[in-house]
Chains A and B, each alone.
Chain A
Amino acid sequence: MERNTTVRDTSFIASTGKEIKSASITSTNNGISTVYSGRRNPRRPFRWLNPGVILPLLAGILFLFLWEFQVFHKLLDLKKYQLPLPSAIAEAMRDNFSLLLSYTGYTLAEAAAGMLIGSACGFLIALAATAWPRWGGGSLTLVAALNAVPIVALAPIMNLWFGDGIGSRAAIVTATTMAAMAINAYKGMSAVDPLALDLMHSYAAGKPAVFRYLRIRNSLPYVFTAFKINTTASMIGAIVGEFFFSSRGLGYLLSNSVKVAKMPLGWSCIVLAAIAGVIFYLIVERLEKVFIKWHSSQRA
């Protein structure tokens, strides 16, 4: 049964989401549903005891053990100050808990603000590109080119423009999240069912009505895919932006603690960034469930 879901899901995504950017996280989402599909199955009494949960859990624990007992250090010839032990990381996290928590909040705020602005811009670009294909299409190409610009090249410029505040990082995140949204939303708006389009024409619906009732609705699943991609991208953008020119935030603390050789603190920044990223992703996924309940990818 599990096997079946996997194949159906993947083929579904392969037929619709051939888009460059939509690929990675779509499969991510797909993977999660594959892994936990045993849990949703009410017929199985020991639903936690299926190999899809137990195996990776055991592997993770084994990995941490090997790390804690310095097997990796011996294999790769590393010193403890180069790769701190998990216990040291946990201790560093406990000692600096309130500082780390406030910095995580700061970075997350930057990421969320930038993602909202960037996604809004991307959506507007997609609207324009669909409404006026001939001239709007060019803007899509420009946005895709902007996406290929490395964040590290954007970051110093944004710092010059917006100074050392939440603004400059939000701007970096905006620039990095715009393209995924524009490209995905455009795909959703243009890949409407031709029969539905014909029906709208036969009702003498104008362009605004077609957009309102057909295209925007059709783009919603793609929009949420873009949101999910952008959660990761925006965390990366915010953290990398903080490497350059900042006085607060996880990225600042990370690069600083590596500079002064406080590796456990640096690692705890990474751990917190990962946790924050996962929470951010889960929130978006929750919203997706609420907003596009009707879509086939959301049905069990």
Chain B
Amino acid sequence: MKGNSTFMRDRVLPLFVWIFGLLAVWEAVSWWLLHVSKTPLAQSKLPYVHEVAATLWKYSSTLLKEGGATFGNAGVGFLIGAAAGVLLAVLMSLSKTVEQLAFPYAVASQMIPILGLAPIIYGIVRDEQVSRIIISGYITFFPVALNMLRGLRSVDLPAVELMHSLAAKPWAVYWKLRFPAALPGLFSGLKIAAPLAVTGAILVELMGAQHGIGVIMLRNLYYGPSHTYMFWSTVLVGALLGIASYWLMSLVERLAAPWQPEFRPKGGSR
């Protein structure tokens, strides 16, 4: 119980102070822009927080629906991409040839601005649903494959030798040793990819789609100052979707791989 209360005091309290301090500064700067410096488009640049919150509440059903559409499509693409990435990683760890074929391209593709491909893929497919899924999947694929491979490779060599000496079949080595060892790597890949998948989905929506949070964002941006609160609410929803996806992955990681040092009550290795 004592540990819990120090956690509250040392971790949660400063964070809350930070957040409230930030909101207060935001509100003050917004007021200053509007009333003191009289900046043109003051509310578009930095609107009052409470107004945005009110809009968020007022249109919550619409935002929830559109946000859900984005999140769902990003999720489907994310799952497909993650599955393909895991598969490639297993193939690369099984066969040196596959690794030599695929690894340089996996590395090179990390340096291509992948999100830049969004308009091109939209131009090829011309279907919002499919292109959202393709982009999300494509973004997810490489971080997952690279990190999973790193994880599969990072097993203890003595442990592998022990399993060999016990005459374990290759699938037993994979199932009992390599997959558990790869889980942390897999999840660090998934945590990189999850917010990016949401970003990709929103980006495709901005290119021209019917549903999704990106569509309302663009629409309200073009309507100008009168829709500024709604625009900021959509931005906020987009941000929340990104954070939620990351948070969801952390939660799944905690459930699936709870033995990692960072989950121990007292930071293991330190």
Contacts and interface: CB of A to CB of B under 8 A. Distances in A.
Interface of A: 6-7, 10-11, 13-14, 18-21, 23-25, 27-28, 30-32, 34-35, 51-52, 55-56, 59-60, 78, 82-83, 134-135, 137-139, 141-142, 145, 147-153, 156-157, 160-161, 191, 231-232, 235-236, 239-240, 243-244, 250-251, 254-255, 258-259, 261, 263, 266-267, 269-270, 273-274, 277-278, 281
14 contacts: A13-B150, A14-B185, A23-B146, A24-B192, A27-B147, A27-B149, A55-B101, A147-B195, A151-B115, A152-B214, A153-B238, A263-B123, A270-B117, A278-B111
Given A7-B157, A149-B242, A239-B116, A35 B235 contact: no
B153 A270 contact: no
B238 to A, nearest CB: 4
Given A23-B185, A232-B110, A145 B235 contact: no
Shortest beta-carbon contacts, A-B, top 6: A150-B199, A14-B154, A138-B18, A153-B238, A149-B239, A138-B14
B110 A152 contact: no
Q: Identify which of B123, B189, B207 gathers the most chain A CB atoms within 10 Å of its CB.
A: B123
Given A18-B188, A27-B150, A232 B120 contact: no
B226 interface: no
B113 A35 contact: no
Interface in B213-236: 214, 217, 221, 231, 234-235
A23 B243 CA distance: 19
Contacts of A25: 110
Contacts of B115: 151, 236, 239-240
Contacts of A23: 143, 146-147, 150, 185, 188-189, 192
A263 to B, nearest CB: 6
Nearest to B120: A266
A11 B185 CA distance: 12
A28 B107 contact: yes
A10 B203 contact: no
Nearest to B196: A150
Given A23-B189, A153-B217, A56 B110 contact: no
Interface of B: 10-11, 14-15, 17-19, 22, 41, 44-45, 97, 100-108, 110-117, 119-120, 122-124, 142-143, 146-147, 149-151, 153-154, 157, 184-185, 188-189, 191-192, 195, 198-199, 202-203, 206-207, 214, 217, 221, 231, 234-235, 238-239, 241-243, 245-246, 260-262, 270
B41 A82 contact: no
B111 A60 contact: no
Nearest to B111: A277
A75 to B, nearest CB: 13
Chain B, interface SS category: helix
A25 B192 CA distance: 11
A24 B97 CA distance: 22
Contact of A35 (B104, B112, B185, B241): B104
Given A11-B154, A160-B41, A235-B113, A266 B123 contact: yes
Contacts of B44: 160
B116 A156 contact: no
B101 A56 contact: yes
Given A6-B153, A10-B154, A266-B123, A150 B242 contact: yes
B262 A28 contact: no
A95 to B, nearest CB: 19
A231 B10 CA distance: 35
Contact of B243 (A52, A139, A145): A145
Nearest to B184: A18
A148 B195 CA distance: 6
B238 A152 contact: yes
Contacts of B117: 270
Contact of B22 (A7, A13, A142, A281): A142
A24 B145 CA distance: 9
A24 B189 contact: yes
Given A263-B120, A270-B117, A277 B242 contact: no
Given A24-B189, A149-B239, A18 B262 contact: yes
Contacts of A59: 101, 105
Contacts of B195: 147-148, 150
A267 B191 CA distance: 29
Given A24-B146, A24-B147, A152-B203, 9 more contacts: A7-B157, A35-B107, A60-B105, A142-B19, A153-B242, A236-B114, A266-B123, A274-B108, A277-B111
Contacts of A35: 100, 103-104, 107
